[in-house]
């Protein structure tokens, strides 16, 4: 029997927030914009101070991070999305370095308090359950631990399965706001991204279980998989690029050892087509991030192939993927979770991919990482490294061998200078690079 829900306005709902509280926002498309605006209105009226905001990547406006709210709201995010990148780089917001798999643990262990969880959910079903839709990730843990749970009931939130269901009895305050979810659209891969996609696709075997990070390169890889067979998905997120492969039968999960036949994810980021795809779809399991990103669970599937992006790599194989110098770009995310899991999967492959140069022609392969760069993937974790010039396997290679291999997939205009740097550091000559390059 359905519980009779009493709705209040967003302005009334956020009255439970007190100065000094820690507030969690559901992620990506599910960021509850009406509650965010109401909370910021209270901030502008000088009713709050020292409120800490936590979330993963979110789509849409993030006004609480604006400089006008200095001393009122402090954003300490678990992942830095494009909407808060500039303010984070400027010092008006901050970042908590944490593996994506452990974001839920911050709440469940009590390391971070959660006074208020502000979430967006589907309409309740006949049994009183709502779905977290596109954002389970650390949001489920926040709901479990929060003193107050405020939920926006929105008819546009898809009814997803897996760990996404919570009962209305676990929600304290209800707001209704039927607005379409924020969409994320990705550009068509350019020539370099397409070349990287082809090089990565050549490493993916039939029956592989895929994890793809966020961005143009993962989409470029997916675009090259039309002739593959029996692929599976176990990932932290997916977007529109998987849909054609599901429709054609390329992605079917038949070779998975766990969650066989199901696509497993913890949050979504894409167009309305993606949200429609997961709605009432038992073939998609939206799971707690402690499950999706647990390396030991990941490794239970055979041929796990994890493809992630990077900002910079040095000649030893250290991978920078979150910050360069004083510029902060994203976060640790799920990269290490899946690299560690894929490397322990039977027949698995851990792949880091990036263009060899920046848009300004600066080499992204460096003799040493930029001062202040964040090492997300250590040289001990690095296996396959891919650019538009090829793919090399660094696993089991000495420092000199790694330097030769990495230089072999650098932009030709930069190979000589990198070779000189390698020789000065290791005595590693460029002259026999081709003989040691591995492409599969």
Considering 59, 102, 193, 236, which one is annotated as catalytic?
236
In which residue are the tokens 């643990």 written? 105
Residues 434/407, Cβ–Cβ less than 8 Å? no
Token representation of residue 414: 């930069």
The CA angle 258-261-263, to the nearest 5 degrees, is 85
Q: Using CB atoms within 10 Å of the CB of residue 118, give its burial: 0 to 12 exposed, 13 to 18 middle, 19+ buried.
A: buried
Are 305 and 228 in contact by the 8 Å Cβ rule? The answer is no
Q: Give residue 99's pLDDT.
A: 96
Residue 382 gets the label, from left (phi > 0), alpha (psi -120 to 50) or beta, of beta
3-state secondary structure of 313: strand
Helix, strand, or coil (residue 422): helix
d(CA 142, CA 53): 12
Query: pLDDT in tens for each of the 440 residues of the chain?
Result: 466 899 999 999 999 999 999 999 999 999 999 999 999 999 999 999 999 999 999 999 999 999 999 999 999 999 999 999 999 999 999 999 999 999 999 999 999 999 999 999 999 999 999 999 999 999 999 999 999 999 999 999 999 999 999 999 999 999 999 999 999 888 889 999 999 999 999 999 999 999 987 778 888 999 999 999 999 999 999 999 999 999 999 999 999 999 999 999 999 989 999 999 999 999 999 999 999 999 999 999 999 999 999 999 999 999 999 888 777 778 899 999 999 999 999 999 999 999 999 999 999 999 999 998 999 999 999 999 999 999 999 999 999 999 999 999 999 999 999 999 998 887 655 544 443 444 44
Distance CA 56, CA 24 (A): 9
* Phi (first) and psi of residue 436, to 5 degrees: -105, -5
DSSP SS3 for 199: helix
Q: What angle do CA 235, 36, 116 make, to 5 degrees?
A: 75
Q: Give the single-character DSSP code of 67.
A: G
Q: What is the spatial distance between Cα 325 and Cα 370, in angstroms, rounded to a whole number? A: 6
Domains defined for the chain, CATH in brackets:
10-176 (3.40.1080.10), 191-436 (3.40.1080.20)
- In this prediction, residue 2 carries a pLDDT of 60
| pTM recorded for the entire structure | 0.94
CA distances to 22, 71, 94, 334 from 46, in Å: 17, 10, 22, 37
236 is catalytic: yes
- Do the Cβ atoms of 385 and 406 come closer than 8 Å? yes
Which pLDDT score is estimated for 429?
Answer: 56
Neighbours of 416 (CB within 10 A): 12
**pLDDT of 3:** 66
Burial (0-12, 13-18, 19+ Cβ within 10 Å), 67: exposed
Give phi and psi for 403, each to the nearest 5. Answer: -60, -45
CA–CA distance, 16 with 305 (Å, rounded to integer): 45
Query: What pLDDT score does 184 carry?
Result: 87
Angle, helix 399-408 to helix 412-426, in steps of 10 degrees: 170
Instruction: Give the Cα separation of 110 and 296 in Å (integer).
Output: 23
- The beta strands (E) that lie in 140-262 are given as 148-153, 161-162, 165-167, 173-176, 209-212, 232-233, 237-238
Which two structure tokens, joined as six digits, stand for 374? Answer: 């964040």
């Amino acid at each position: 029997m359905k519980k009779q829900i009493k709705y209040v306005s967003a302005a009334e709902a956020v009255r439970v927030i007190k100065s000094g509280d820690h507030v969690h926002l559901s992620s990506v498309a599910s960021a509850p914009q009406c509650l965010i605006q109401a909370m910021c209105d209270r901030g502008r009226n000088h009713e709050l101070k020292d409120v800490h905001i936590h979330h993963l990547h979110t789509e849409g406006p993030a006004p609480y991070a604006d400089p006008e709210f200095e001393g009122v709201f402090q954003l300490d995010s678990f992942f830095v999305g494009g909407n808060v990148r500039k303010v984070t780089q400027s010092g008006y917001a901050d970042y908590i370095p944490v593996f994506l798999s452990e974001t839920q643990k911050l709440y469940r262990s009590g390391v971070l308090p959660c006074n208020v969880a502000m979430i967006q959910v589907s309409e309740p079903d006949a049994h009183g359950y709502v779905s977290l839709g596109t954002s389970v990730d650390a949001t489920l843990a926040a709901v479990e631990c929060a003193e107050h749970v405020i939920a926006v009931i929105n008819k546009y939130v898809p009814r997803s399965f897996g760990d996404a269901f919570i009962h209305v009895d676990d929600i304290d305050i209800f707001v209704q706001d039927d607005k379409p979810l924020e969409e994320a659209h990705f550009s068509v891969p350019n020539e370099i991204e397409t070349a990287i996609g082809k090089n990565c696709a050549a490493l993916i075997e039939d029956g592989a279980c895929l994890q793809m990070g966020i961005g143009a390169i993962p989409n470029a890889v997916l675009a090259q998989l039309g002739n593959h067979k029996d692929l599976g998905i176990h990932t932290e997120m997916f977007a529109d690029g998987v849909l054609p492969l599901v429709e054609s039968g390329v992605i079917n999960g038949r070779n998975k050892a766990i969650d066989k036949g199901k696509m497993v994810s913890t949050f979504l980021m894409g167009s309305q087509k993606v949200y429609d795809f997961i709605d009432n779809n038992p073939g998609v399991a939206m799971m707690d991030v402690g499950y999706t990103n647990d390396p030991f669970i990941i490794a239970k599937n055979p041929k796990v192939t994890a493809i992630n992006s990077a900002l910079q790599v040095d000649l030893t194989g250290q991978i920078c993927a979150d910050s360069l110098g004083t510029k902060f770009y994203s976060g640790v995310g799920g990269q290490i979770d899946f690299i560690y899991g894929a490397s322990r999967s039977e027949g698995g492959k851990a792949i880091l991919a990036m263009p060899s140069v920046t848009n300004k022609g600066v080499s992204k392969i460096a003799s040493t990482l930029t001062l202040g760069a964040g090492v997300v993937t250590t040289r001990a974790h690095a296996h396959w490294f891919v650019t538009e010039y090829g793919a090399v396997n660094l696993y089991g290679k000495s420092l000199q061998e790694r330097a030769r291999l990495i230089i072999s997939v650098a932009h030709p205009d930069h190979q000589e200078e990198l070779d000189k740097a390698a020789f000065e550091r290791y005595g590693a000559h460029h002259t026999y690079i081709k003989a040691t390059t591995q492409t599969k």
